[in-house]
Amino acid sequence: MYNFSALPVVSHNVKEVSAFKNLKGDKVQLKDKLTVLGFLGSDLTDRKINVYNLHEKIYKGIHSSDEDFQMLMLLPNGAEAQVDEIIVELSRYAEINKWEFAFGTMEAINEVYNSLNTDMYLDANLGTDFTFIIDKEQKVRATNDSKLKNCFGYDATSVSVLHKIMDNDVTILLFEYNAALKSNYTINRRDSFLKINQKDEE
């Protein structure tokens, strides 16, 4: 049996992303999803590499581990054409059904970002190189590793940070949820067994 420490909660009540729509025009959500959340901004020229890094170091090894896992990138309205190019590239290497690119207003992006309660700021294009782990209860999770510089975001430009820190942290969170599911299953099985025995005794 593995011994592990739960991934720390560093912020609560991340704002729901219901004001955003994906390329199909469907709404997206954080609730009940294990999310890697990013803010790509309106100009993806320099941030395409961030997406590819996340795809290689996080997504490809984890996307099939939990049906509720998603990579959610928020962008301003008008950036759709740039995302189309990225999707073509990503689809060459793996199934991308758990990648979500969603679009909204400047106000909506700022509201979600501010709800993270990080000390960092979005740039003029409403983007940042840092990505965040959001659990199914809309809480920000992050390790206490000093390499994160107390910002609880993971630098997507750094392959080392993604591979050595973020991948491990997402895996820990997946383990937490899987362990909870197994525990609930055991309790339900026990309760069912007790009810059956009680009926037999009657």
- Mean pLDDT for 96-105 is 96
104 pLDDT above the threshold of 80: yes
Model confidence pLDDT, tens digit, residues 44-84: 998 999 999 999 999 988 876 778 999 999 999 999 999 99
Q: Report residue 21: phi and psi, to 5°.
A: -130, 145
pLDDT the model gives residue 94: 79
Amino acid letter, 135? D
User: What pTM was computed for the model?
Assistant: 0.86
Task: Check: CB of residue 153 under 8 Å from CB of residue 130.
Answer: yes
Range of the domain at 24: 9-201
Quickly count: other Cβ atoms within 10 Å of residue 154's Cβ.
28
Banded model confidence at residue 187, pLDDT cuts 50, 70, 90: very low
Residue 3 falls within a domain, yes or no?
Answer: no
CATH of the domain at 189: 3.40.30.10
- Rounded CA-CA distance 49/103 in Å is 20
Residue 148 falls within a domain, yes or no?
Answer: yes
Banded model confidence at residue 201, pLDDT cuts 50, 70, 90: low
- Mean pLDDT for 112-139 is 96
Average predicted confidence (pLDDT) for the chain:
86
Residue 54 falls within a domain, yes or no?
Answer: yes
Among all chains, which residue has been given the structure tokens 């940070």? 161
The total domain count for the chain is: 1
Residue 2 falls within a domain, yes or no?
Answer: no
